[in-house]
Amino acid sequence: MEVGTLQNFVYLLVDEPTGEAIAIDSGWDVDPIVFAARDEGLSVKFAVATHHHSDHADTLSQLAQLLDAKVVAYQGSPIPHDISVAGNDVLEFGVSKARVLHTPGHTEDSMCIFDGENLFTGDTLLIGGCGRTDLAGGSPRKMYKSLHSMILALPRKTIVYPGHDYGDVPFRSLAYEVKLNPALSAKSYAEFLRLPRRGFPGNDDTH
């Protein structure tokens, strides 16, 4: 679902056999998420923050309260949360599982959620680019490592679901991102640093 003025994407990841679900980020408007969960008869177990920036997490506690869910954030995150996770921790919902990938670079508490087929990337990886690294807690070197050591290790058939609708399409396979995304196709850290800022959707906004 797209919410808020910065074209945020929020997601409900559902275990279909049981109807148990994970909410990923909340944007500034929780109503579409709550309505969707209730319309589908879902039981939302976790409200997960991909990172602490306000357009992703300011309403997460409100969402969790409305859905009777637990707030999940990376360990050390400034977000008030019920459950701290670290890299490779597993969230279980229904009979499904989703793995936490710690992907600092945009923020130190940035993480992606991977269920074996789908990757929810927050502001780490965007369609056609990556999140900006010049805000507090950002690091170009850590972003490069997260993209090239963590995300590129995943199967190419993985579907990438970003935290913003900044690309030509709302989601795309990792195989296509490798071909089309300069942040992933850079052959070295030095080449990554030379990429023009305009090549990174979202690098000119304020979130």
Query: What tens digit of pLDDT does each residue of 69-79 get?
Result: 999 999 999 99
Average pLDDT taken over every residue of the chain? 92
Residue 25 lies inside a defined structural domain of this protein? yes
The pLDDT value recorded for residue 6 is 86
The structure tokens listed for 87 are: 């890299």
Residue 200 lies inside a defined structural domain of this protein? no
Residue 204 lies inside a defined structural domain of this protein? no
CATH number at residue 166: 3.60.15.10
**Domain, as residue range, for 136:** 2-194
Residue 108 lies inside a defined structural domain of this protein? yes
CB burial of 113-152 (b: ≥16 within 10 Å; e: otherwise) equals bbbeeebbbbbbbbbbbbbbbeeebbbbebbbebbbebbe
Containing H/E element for 144?
helix 140-145
**How many domains are there within the chain?**
1
Whole-number percent of the chain with pLDDT over 70: 95
Residue owning tokens 């070295």: 188
Residue 21 lies inside a defined structural domain of this protein? yes
Q: What is the pLDDT of residues 123-175, one digit of tens each?
A: 999 999 999 998 888 999 999 999 999 999 999 999 999 999 999 999 999 99
In eight-state DSSP terms, residue 164 is B
Residue 109 lies inside a defined structural domain of this protein? yes
Residue 203 lies inside a defined structural domain of this protein? no
For residues 124 and 142, is the Cβ–Cβ distance under 8 A? no
Residue owning tokens 């008869």: 41
Residue 182 lies inside a defined structural domain of this protein? yes
Backbone angles phi, psi at 138, to 5 degrees: -85, 155
- pTM score, two decimals? 0.92
The average pLDDT across 36-65 equals 96
